[in-house]
Amino acid sequence: METFSISQEKLEKVAFILKTIGHPIRLGIIGLLQEHQKLSVNDICEKLGVEQSLISHHLNNMKLKGILRSEREGKYIFYFVNLEEVLTVISCMSKCNI
């Protein structure tokens, strides 16, 4: 069996990110952004069938923690994944037989 070592700092960062994305709505948002590259709040609300206030809360949380970024285009704000490693983690988890 191969051994590996991860620093305590790295473990804490990974745990922080996993805690942040570990909510069904947040995972849904990330999945949509992976599929569509970037979406507005309204687009996300429509696709997930969730109220704008709740989606905005989750988007702001993930943006503050560096997982997402946003960009204003006219009167709309579009969100996209900033931390590509999150997509890798979700892709790996989707392949698990759980």
- Write down the pLDDT at residue 2: 60
pTM of the model: 0.86
pLDDT in 10s for each residue of the chain, 98 residues: 565 688 999 889 888 999 999 999 999 999 999 999 999 999 999 999 999 999 999 999 999 999 999 999 999 999 999 998 898 888 888 888 77
Fold of 10-92: Arc Repressor Mutant, subunit A (1.10.10)
Angstrom distance (rounded) from CA 80 to CA 59: 10
- Write down the pLDDT at residue 3: 59
Q: Where are the domains of the chain?
A: 10-92
Closest CA to 91 of 15, 44, 21: 21
